[in-house]
Amino acid sequence: MNDLGQDLELRLVRYFTAVAAHQHFGRAAAELHVAQPALSRQIQRLERRLGARLLDRVPQGARLTPAGQAFLPRARDLLQAARQAELAVRDQAGTERITIGYVEDLVITAAVRELRRHHPHAEIATRHLSCRDVKALSDGSVDALVGRAPLPLAADEVLTTPLYEEHRMLVVPRGHPLAGRASVTSEELAGEKAAPCAFETGDWTSYQLLGPDVPPLDSHEDKLELVAGGQAIAVLPVGDLRSSLRPDLVTVPIEGAPPSRVVVVSRKDDPNPMIRHFRLAARALLPAPAA
């Protein structure tokens, strides 16, 4: 029996779209900052409300049922409509606001802190984006995005501001034949199969896993585990220090690889003045990290 006497809660709809995007309750719960059991209960509430099962648990995570597949595009439309309604009201009220997205290891704290200092009454939010959040800018979930170029976004639809460049390094497990090298060349890595995430395009991505049979992975920790286990090697920007936290991994500089370019992008012709303020703060305060 469904809950026909209740309104559909947007929060439950948002939870459902997160699980559908990740196809995994655990990863969705981490993104939403809720406990996994609580997320499961909320999805069950939504299913009771709609009178249909939306997701099936499978060994790999979660899979949409036919009802879930039918509901997903409508759920996204509901969330986007709610977002547009909120923006329309805020525009009329003259409220300064911005949501800033960032990916992988990038740290934007200094620029956000400066933005808040100059605009103490503005609503400034940040959102860490996973590989599956590639549409966050186009659908209005974020107003600006700090990421590594090239991004899978139409050049005529976005405004791009370069911030800085980083060299690239190879990450291998200790004991690997390349682990003791002073450097390696890009030619030595040519031809290796890569498994980039959805935010990455081009021959050299911000984070490549190289190996004979590399599965697509969302989690950075899962990628490093694959490398540490000897199933792959990885190419990272030198500013990504997360691999240094593992004593079983070694980094080696790469010669001849194009640099990783960090940029700020936003929707072209977006009238939000906070975007320009953030760009200025980012250019001033987000230089390349010290080597």
Residue 196 has pLDDT above 60, yes or no: no
- Here the tokens at position 203 are 């021959």
Residue 28 binned pLDDT confidence (cut-offs 50, 70, 90): confident
* Average pLDDT for 209-221: 67
Whole-number pLDDT of residue 222: 81
Q: Report CA torsion sign: 44, 45, 48, 54.
A: negative
Return d(Cα 245, Cα 87) in angstroms, integer: 41
Residue 278 has pLDDT above 80, yes or no: yes
The radius of gyration computed from the CA coordinates of the chain, to the nearest angstrom, equals 21
Return d(Cα 248, Cα 48) in angstroms, integer: 47
Whole-number pLDDT of residue 291: 47
Q: How far is CA 250 from the centre of its chain?
A: 25
- Cα 115 to Cα 77, 111, 219, 230, distances in angstroms: 31, 6, 30, 43
Residue 5 binned pLDDT confidence (cut-offs 50, 70, 90): very low
Residue 89 has pLDDT above 60, yes or no: yes
Strand partners, 250: 172
Return d(Cα 232, Cα 249) in angstroms, integer: 12
Q: How many CB atoms lie within 10 A of CB 229?
A: 10
Q: Please, are residues 100 and 278 in contact by the beta-carbon 8 Å criterion? A: yes
Whole-number pLDDT of residue 189: 76
Residue 225 has pLDDT above 50, yes or no: yes
Return d(Cα 52, Cα 30) in angstroms, integer: 25
**Residue 119: closest CA among 232, 249, 280, 235:** 280
Burial (CB < 10 A; 0-12, 13-18, 19+), residue 30, is: middle
Return d(Cα 141, Cα 94) in angstroms, integer: 19
Residue 4 binned pLDDT confidence (cut-offs 50, 70, 90): very low
* Average pLDDT for 34-51: 91
